[in-house]
Amino acid sequence: MGLLYYLKIKKTRGRINLQDSGVSYSCISPKCLHTRKCLHTRRVSDTFTLFSSLLFLLFVNAAFAQESLLDKAITIPKQHTTLYNALNLISDKAGCLFIYDSQVVESDKRVKLVAENQSLKSVLDNILGDPVIEYKVIGQHILIYRVIKEKLNVRLPQPTAVTHDTIKNIIVKGHIFDSENKSAIPFASIGIVEENIGTITNMDGYFTLKIPASYAGSSLVVSHIGFMSQNIPIKLLNEQKVDLFLERRVISLQEVIIRYIDPHTIITKAMQKRAVNNNHEPVYTTSFYREGVEKNKRYISYSEAVFKIYKSPYSHDEHSDQVKLLKSRKIEDSNPKDTVFLKLKAGILSALQLDIVKCVPDFLDLSSSTSYIFTYSDMVSYNSKDAYVITFIQKRGITDPLYAGTLYVDKDSYAILGADFEINPAFLDKAAEDLVLKKSRRLNVTLEKISYSVSYAPFKGKYFLSHARCDIKLRTRLRHHLSSDNFNTFLELATCNIDTVNVLKFQKEEVIKPNMVFSDAQYTNDDSFWGEFNSIAPEEKVDNAISKIIGEIEKIER
């Protein structure tokens, strides 16, 4: 959405290199793909005694709760199964939820499960078979973790002085999996909903989250489309790496009542309800941004940043938003033998344009004759809310590169909760004409996929953009060459915090241009980096790329 790429090729001494000047480009924003109003082609757009007694009672109650749950007697028929299945059976029987790290609990290990009116702790000790494993209980949650016993006489390195950041924050990290097949769940939300403090999982289902210590008594909410949300006490997770398994949620529809649900009516109501569901006043958001270019499975460019964004009301367009850079870093790993480079232009602006409530794409604009066929297909759980699922695809006979995808609308409030969509694969060749306007005549560019994902989260009764991502896959080949280069590029924006106090526009000198080539920005070295800011953890392959050239990671701070 508003993704602007450019390719310009120049042959030099037998090689072809990218030149950064005099580049033509165009835009592929859902806002104006079919309006032809963007740039040259305009097709594709524009959160003391009494006290001592109370404290003692709280301590006793917590200890009693922990002891009573672990002492609870359970009975399960004798069987041989995996440790993962055994824990699930125990969880169902005891009415508890286990939290653990897969490096501590070997979930695929075969175990003998025997429980004949035995205590929960005894059963766990038997199947885990590790003397250094201990348990911590809060409510119905049981954390399984490993400790280093003093009797092992292992001399551990003494910790250095606690940093200011450690004092202020609690660090939580781990993976989110589907309990049914143990597959990773990307883009799952983790955070304190009422405070809008949070992050999302990466493509590997991994997350890391920094929480102010003042929220130690709160609970984290873990959620994703189609899954039951989990509320987990933060005290269980502090400094622990954990695996969390979400159960699929099936919404039971009444068998007797059968009624037709008109998708056009749902979309119309969703657009009308923006005045109720979305912000009328500007807010500040602290947002994490990243973009990357991968060539033949090797990252040649990767940039990360933390922005403070002046987010204007929903009724204003994206050009009313302002972006202030707080921190950023990048890596570059271009090879002299590379013949084709690809860079992302106006990625920041594109991320802002992915707010489809502000920058309304044509599949949400029903004011005139629509170019889409809409179908009500299902009802799912979307971050613990029942949501209508509306699918859309362009009508037959229309040959412009429009969109196909899925829209999620809250069943009760008609708030737009999110959307997953892509440029219609059947017309990607025409989208390429707008994507690359100036290139070498010897270079053939083939688009393979352009997809978008957008989600919204509630804060103080209004919905705000929570996460937005765009992925583009393309292939390039020089004429008369048999080999080709495969490019995967992406941009991603996640809202980590929202502030509604004293929201004013930034000074002109503080604002960065959102249509800049962000990876070309100047950087200066700094040993510390993110500090108290939250981010999306890099995928494993990106993390490996960063670790190989960690000395070259740079940052800017303003």
CA-CA distances (angstroms) from residue 462 to 271, 313, 546? 14, 11, 37
pLDDT, residue 23, reads 29
Residues 268 and 222 reside in one and the same domain: no
Q: Decide which of 116, 151, 186 is a domain's last residue.
A: 151
CA angle 480, 482, 485 (to 5 degrees): 105
Q: What's the CATH code of the domain at 78?
A: 3.55.50.30
158 lies in some domain? no
Residues 19 and 116 reside in one and the same domain: no
Alpha-helical (H) ranges within 71-118 are 83-94
Type of residue numbered 52: S
Residues 99 and 227 reside in one and the same domain: no
26 lies in some domain? yes
Residues 459 and 322 reside in one and the same domain: yes
pLDDT, residue 41, reads 33
Distance CA 99, CA 135 (A): 10
Distance CA 245, CA 179 (A): 5
Q: Do the beta carbons of residue 193 and residue 219 sit within 8 Å? A: no
Residue in 382, 370, 471 with CA at minimum distance from that of residue 418? 382
Domain that holds residue 343: 4-46+261-557
pLDDT, residue 414, reads 95
pLDDT, residue 155, reads 43
- What's the number of CA atoms in the CB half-sphere (13 Å) around residue 544? 6
Q: Do the beta carbons of residue 194 and residue 183 sit within 8 Å? A: no
How do the pLDDT tens digits run along the chain, 558 residues long? 444 343 333 333 333 233 332 223 333 445 544 433 333 333 334 333 323 333 333 333 434 444 578 888 888 888 888 888 888 888 888 888 888 887 788 888 888 888 888 888 888 888 888 888 888 888 888 888 887 654 444 444 444 444 444 457 788 888 888 888 888 888 888 888 767 788 888 888 888 888 888 888 888 888 887 788 888 888 888 777 888 888 877 655 443 344 678 999 999 999 999 999 999 999 999 988 888 888 887 777 888 888 999 999 999 988 899 999 888 877 776 665 555 556 666 688 889 999 999 999 999 988 767 899 999 988 888 877 889 999 999 998 888 889 999 999 999 999 999 999 999 988 888 877 666 555 567 778 888 899 999 999 888 889 999 999 999 898 888 887 888 888 888 889 988 889 998 999 999 888 988 887 777 766 544 445 566 667 666 666 555 554 543 344 333 333
Residues 432 and 534 reside in one and the same domain: yes
540 lies in some domain? yes
pLDDT, residue 550, reads 39
Residue in 409, 396, 299 with CA at minimum distance from that of residue 357? 409
The answer for residues whose C-beta is within 8 angstroms of residue 94's C-beta and 6 or more apart is: 69, 72, 74, 120
Return the structure tokens found at 112: 């003998």
159 lies in some domain? no
Q: Decide which of 246, 272, 303 is a domain's last residue.
A: 246
pLDDT, residue 542, reads 55
Residues 42 and 84 reside in one and the same domain: no
Q: Decide which of 151, 172, 191 is a domain's last residue.
A: 151
Residue in 170, 151, 252 with CA at minimum distance from that of residue 219? 170
> Is pTM beyond 0.85 here?
no
Instruction: Please provide the size of the chain in residues.
Output: 558
The answer for residues whose C-beta is within 8 angstroms of residue 338's C-beta and 6 or more apart is: 295, 300
256 lies in some domain? no
The answer for residues whose C-beta is within 8 angstroms of residue 529's C-beta and 6 or more apart is: 327, 329, 553, 555
Per DSSP, the three-state class of 351 is: helix
Distance CA 104, CA 29 (A): 46
68 lies in some domain? yes
Residues 278 and 399 reside in one and the same domain: yes
Number of other residues whose CB lies within 10 A of the CB of residue 117: 7
pLDDT, residue 465, reads 93
- The packing angle between helices 83-94 and 120-128, to 10°, is 180
Strand partners, 190: 199, 222
Q: Do the beta carbons of residue 99 and residue 242 sit within 8 Å? A: yes
Q: Do the beta carbons of residue 237 and residue 222 sit within 8 Å? A: no
The residue assigned the tokens 């080539």 is: 517
* Total of domains in the chain: 3
Distance spanning both ends of the chain, measured CA to CA = 28
503 lies in some domain? yes
- What's the number of CA atoms in the CB half-sphere (13 Å) around residue 204? 15
Residues 297 and 399 reside in one and the same domain: yes
Residues 82 and 106 reside in one and the same domain: yes
Strand 97-100 and strand 133-138: the pairing is unpaired
Residues 385 and 504 reside in one and the same domain: yes
Q: Do the beta carbons of residue 338 and residue 295 sit within 8 Å? A: yes
Residues 317 and 451 reside in one and the same domain: yes
Q: Do the beta carbons of residue 401 and residue 427 sit within 8 Å? A: yes
255 lies in some domain? no
pLDDT, residue 419, reads 95
Residues 137 and 186 reside in one and the same domain: no
Q: What's the CATH code of the domain at 170?
A: 2.60.40.1120
